Amino acid sequence: MAALLGALVAALGGLMVPTLVARVPEPEPPTASEPDAGDPADPVPDAVPDDEPPKMLYVDIAERPGLGWRSAVIAAVAGGLLGASTGLDWPLLWLIPLTPVAVALSVIDWHTRLLPRRIVVPATLAAIAVVTVVGLATGERDALVRALAGMVVARSFFWVLWFLRSAGMGFGDVRLAAPVGLVLGWVGWGALALGLWVGFIAFALPAVGLAVVRRDRTVLKKSFPFGPFMVIGALVGLVWGTALAGRIWG
């Protein structure tokens, strides 16, 4: 029942992905007098290499044929897995609504290498509010504290990577780490560690493979955005995190 409910609700949300993407305002390009003009969360690269196309407009992404039904299918699969692993329990209140949002962010990041603050921040604040209310109302204070601590740990970890200018890391990834750490932290520290680890592995394998094939190490910095792989890692951590973490670290 939980799997069916999760798949259905997430699929309905997935159908709204093109609408959500189309409503994201375009980042304003920096000017000489205002180098940081526009949304600092959605910076436009200072210089676009000649061999790379300019950033794709959000409206154009939203109008891609089949985006709605493909997003619905992906969201339904993810929602079904989350429902099956969680059961009819409180975490579905934030996991299922976040699923189509994660799909939308993955689509945007894949095409633009940007994670718009206009989506990430409201989704994070809403998730914090729901997690806090549920944690206090149900007496799950340990899970609540762990979720909030996981959010701080994940965001701080990604901030350090961003500060050190790690390959493929943008500040949008730092912001996305907050809701990822929050939902994984509620499940457990093992799920948090595994979810973050799987995200890095899922990103590194195709990137390294492509770099080897092309014999070009710069591929590691410009081949793939990191956001979609963070989402994949979070899904793995949420669905299989507790069991796998017990086997790996137990």
The continuous run of DSSP H or E covering 202 comes out as helix 189-214
What does the pLDDT average to over 144-151?
Answer: 98
Residue 165: pLDDT band by 50, 70, 90 thresholds? confident
Q: pLDDT band at residue 219, thresholds of 50, 70 and 90?
A: low
Instruction: Give the residue-averaged pLDDT of 170-189.
Output: 96
Query: 119 by DSSP, 3-state: which?
Result: helix
Residue 201's identity, in one-letter code, is I
Region 114-143 average pLDDT: 96
| CB-based contact 196:169 (threshold 8 Å) | no
Is pLDDT at 29 greater than 90 in this prediction?
no
- For residue 45, give the DSSP letter: P
- Report the number of secondary-structure helices (H) and strands (E) in the chain: 11, 0
pLDDT tens by residue, 201-215: 998 887 777 666 666
Q: Is the pLDDT of residue 46 over 50?
A: no
CB 93 within 8 A of CB 137: no
